[in-house]
Amino acid sequence: MTIAEMLSQSIILTLLGMCVVFSFLVIMIICMNGLRIFVHATGLDKEEAKTDVAAPVAPAVDQNAVVAAIATALHEKN
């Protein structure tokens, strides 16, 4: 096998590999777009509002009590 034959084979293999990767990417993009259309058509992309479960409510914090606690801690430190 001569150098010219090996170079021509390597170019063919490189182009073939690039075509395979490119065609796979095109197929993957088509499948992802089809999945997006399917999910949008069936309404699976919408979040349902859960009305039966109450959200946890944070306890009300008295800001004056927090300031007083900080002032007391600083006063005791000095």
> Domain-by-domain residue ranges, the chain?
1-46
Which has more pLDDT, 52 or 45?
45
Res. 38 pLDDT band, cuts 50 70 90: very high
Kindly tell me if the per-residue pLDDT of 51 is higher than 90. no
What pLDDT shows up at residue 73? 92
Choose among 41, 9, 17: nearest CA to 25: 17
Q: Quote the mean pLDDT of the chain.
A: 88
Mean pLDDT of 40-53: 77
Count Cβ neighbours within 10 Å for each residue of 57-70 and write b for 16 or more, e otherwise.
Answer: eeeeeeeeeeeeee
| Measured distance CA(57)–CA(37) in Å, rounded | 38
Res. 37 pLDDT band, cuts 50 70 90: very high
Lowest mean pLDDT among 1-5, 30-34, 62-66: 62-66
